[in-house]
């Protein structure tokens, strides 16, 4: 999938968060959205994902089969961020089954192999509300990366992960990036070391 931003801007009340963003995000591309905390990185990612509409300009989506309307774009992308809620009453196994009712799982993966990938065999029947913050973040990342969608969006992906968790994240990306278009919002270089293109949000203030 190709995502095109044409002079896109977003404001809240009368304050512009950013404006004039023009970029073509191409299939298989690796893009990092950079900037200090509070600069609007997450807002730009929400525009890219279709969760927010631009206050000016356009965001366009083009799949191999033709244009995709914004209300349908969620079928083509996966999103992981520390602020996205998991269903805390579900066990890990139930969460995996529920998530992949809506999006296909990456080829060769199933619930058992995903639990193994997470290293959470002993916790697969435990309610997610009892997980540590690091376990929850790894679960979010695995659900997003192991979905067979052409677009992967990540916002501060290693939040709440220790050094071992960061290594796990790096291996996850290496194993499941494939030909996906990936966009990472971050100000930590190790989170986006694999990216080749950069969007500096402060250039659009």
Domains of the chain: 2-204 (3.40.50.300)
pLDDT, position 33: 98
Q: For position 84, what pLDDT does the model report?
A: 94
pLDDT at 191: 97
Give the pLDDT confidence score for residue 87 in this predicted structure: 97
Is 59 within 8 Å of 183 (Cβ atoms)? no
**Each residue's pLDDT tens digit, 152-162:** 999 999 999 99
Using 70 as the pLDDT threshold, list the residues of the chain that sit under it. Answer: none
Taking CA atoms, 138 is separated from 12, 50, 93, in Å, by: 32, 24, 14
Residue identified by tokens 């209300």 is 71
- Measured between alpha carbons, how far is residue 186 from residues 14, 97, 127, 192, 198 in Å? 26, 30, 30, 7, 11
The total of other beta-carbon atoms located within 10 Å of residue 139's CB is 22
């Amino acid at each position: 999938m190709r995502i095109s931003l044409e002079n896109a801007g977003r404001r809240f009340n009368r304050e512009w968060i950013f404006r004039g963003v023009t970029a073509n995000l191409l299939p298989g591309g690796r893009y990092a959205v950079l900037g200090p905390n509070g600069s609007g990185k997450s807002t730009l990612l929400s525009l890219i994902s279709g969760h927010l509409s631009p206050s000016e300009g356009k965001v366009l989506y083009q799949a191999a089969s033709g244009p995709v309307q914004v209300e349908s774009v969620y079928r083509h992308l996966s999103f992981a961020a520390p602020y996205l809620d998991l269903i805390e009453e579900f066990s890990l196994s139930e969460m995996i089954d529920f998530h992949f009712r809506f999006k296909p799982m990456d080829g060769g993966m199933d619930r058992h192999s995903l639990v193994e990938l997470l290293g959470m065999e002993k916790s697969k029947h435990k309610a997610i509300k009892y997980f540590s913050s690091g376990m929850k973040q790894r679960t979010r990342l695995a659900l997003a990366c192991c979905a067979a969608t052409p677009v992967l969006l990540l916002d501060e992906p290693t939040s709440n992960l220790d050094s071992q968790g960061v290594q796990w994240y790096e291996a996850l990306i290496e194993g499941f990036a494939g030909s996906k278009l990936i966009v990472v919002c971050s100000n930590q270089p190790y989170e986006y070391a694999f990216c080749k293109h950069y969007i500096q949000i402060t250039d659009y203030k």
